[in-house]
């Protein structure tokens, strides 16, 4: 788990972190300026943001999702386009890729999509996935 002194909370602003504890598959985050349980309930399910400069380098073989937009996408070494964002498709996340022919969505967890610190590589994609790219 990454330790941060401060985070941004959607609709609340920047706030210091007092403590974090695991609760099943979630984390319970105790924030400065939030002492009453009723106030804490108003913040449940809010987006929480961290300053990228405050994050340690991603572990070897990993990347931060926030670092993906702007990365070039290559298919077996040839340029395909650029990551412009992510789409939450329920069961999986999709990379939104801008190409010269329009937008393409690539499954982030697909075995043929390889994330690198400086690019996204697509190797041996399924037939038809990149038709009309």
Cα four-point dihedral sign 104, 109, 111, 114: positive
Measure the CA–CA gap between 48 and 46, rounded to whole angstroms: 6
Query: Do residues 113 and 86 touch, judged by C-beta distance below 8 A?
Result: no
**CA quadruple 36, 40, 41, 42: dihedral sign:** positive
pLDDT at site 131: 76
pTM (2 d.p.): 0.67
* Structure tokens, 79: 């340029």
> How many Å apart are CA 24 and CA 131, to the nearest integer?
43
Binned average pLDDT, 10 residues per bin, the chain of 133 residues: 81 90 86 91 88 82 85 93 90 90 90 89 87 66
SS3 state at 81: strand
How many other CB atoms are there within 10 angstroms of residue 122's CB atom? 21
Distance separating alpha carbons of residues 20 and 107, to the nearest angstrom:
31
DSSP state of 108: T
Where do the domains of the chain lie?
A: 6-54, 65-122
CATH code of the domain occupying 65-122: 2.30.30.240
Q: Give the per-residue pLDDT at 129.
A: 80
Please report the pLDDT score of residue 56 as a whole number: 83
């Amino acid at each position: 788990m990454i330790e941060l002194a401060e985070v941004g909370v959607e609709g609340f602003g920047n706030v210091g972190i007092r403590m974090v504890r695991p609760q099943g598959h979630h984390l319970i985050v105790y924030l400065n300026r939030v002492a009453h349980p009723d106030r804490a309930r108003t913040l449940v399910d809010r987006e929480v943001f961290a300053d990228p400069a405050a994050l340690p380098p991603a572990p070897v073989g990993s990347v931060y999702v926030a670092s993906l937009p702007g990365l070039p996408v290559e298919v077996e070494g040839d340029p395909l386009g650029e990551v412009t964002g992510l789409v939450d498709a329920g069961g999986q996340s999709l990379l939104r890729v801008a190409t010269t022919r329009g937008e393409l969505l690539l499954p982030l967890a697909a075995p043929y999509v390889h994330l690198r610190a400086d690019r996204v590589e697509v190797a041996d994609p399924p037939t038809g996935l990149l038709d009309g790219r």
